[in-house]
A and B are shown apart, each in its own frame.
Chain A
């Protein structure tokens, strides 16, 4: 079945460091890929998405490129801030006659000042 694997956390970085959170997926067909973020005390919210191969999603300085050849959707940011501290979830959604969204386990990011 469909699945999403993302790197285990927590990830601890200093402010202005470069961030990469790896995400790979397994799915038949052509899923849409998402990154969701959950800030402390809040619900999940969409960070960015990509719907086809080679698409790049971007938002708030974060980027991720849909790589079908490596079945990956790694999240990157060039310079993290303390306010980026949160849990990040990689997810895929595929047309299954309705649709379901499958999530990775989540990666907690701590950014130190």
Chain B
């Protein structure tokens, strides 16, 4: 159980276009999802916290107008990279807290991850 599906697994787009990445919780509901970015040989950097029914919370330094997050339902969060540029090329990963924990503020909850999306902007 607790499967997070992320789509697409890879995408190549031209500079100036927008790309949407979907993150779905397949067998549980997720009121909160997290979006990470991973650079080669570096750690996962938290970009934003996606909240169902309300605005996303962005980390310092992350452009909210460039990385649009929508959490339209309890099973779907989307990240749209708008007007993509080559420097946006990266590996993007979504995650959701353990659905067994009712209190999503519980920091004891481990995360379930999607398989990531490799974005290449040419």
Contact = CB atoms under 8 A, between A and B. Distances in A.
Interface of A: 4, 31-32, 34, 36, 41-46, 49, 51, 89, 93-106
Contact of A104 (B43, B114, B115): B43
9 contacts: A43-B6, A43-B113, A43-B116, A45-B112, A45-B113, A49-B108, A89-B44, A93-B109, A101-B95
Nearest to B44: A103
Q: What 5 A-B pairs have minimum CB-CB distances, sorted nearest first?
A: A99-B107, A43-B113, A43-B115, A46-B110, A93-B107
Interface of B: 4, 6, 32, 34, 36, 41-44, 46, 49, 57, 93, 95, 104-116
Interface secondary structure of A, over-half rule:
strand
Contacts of B114: 43
Given A43-B113, A45-B113, A101-B111, A89 B43 contact: yes
Contacts, number: 69
Given A103-B43, A105-B42, A32 B108 contact: yes
A4 to B, nearest CB: 8
Given A31-B107, A99-B106, A99-B107, A42 B115 contact: yes
Contacts of A96: 107
Given A49-B110, A103-B36, 17 more contacts: A36-B110, A36-B113, A41-B115, A42-B115, A43-B6, A43-B116, A44-B44, A93-B108, A93-B109, A94-B107, A95-B106, A95-B107, A96-B107, A97-B105, A101-B34, A102-B46, A105-B43
Contacts of A93: 107-109
A102 B107 CA distance: 11
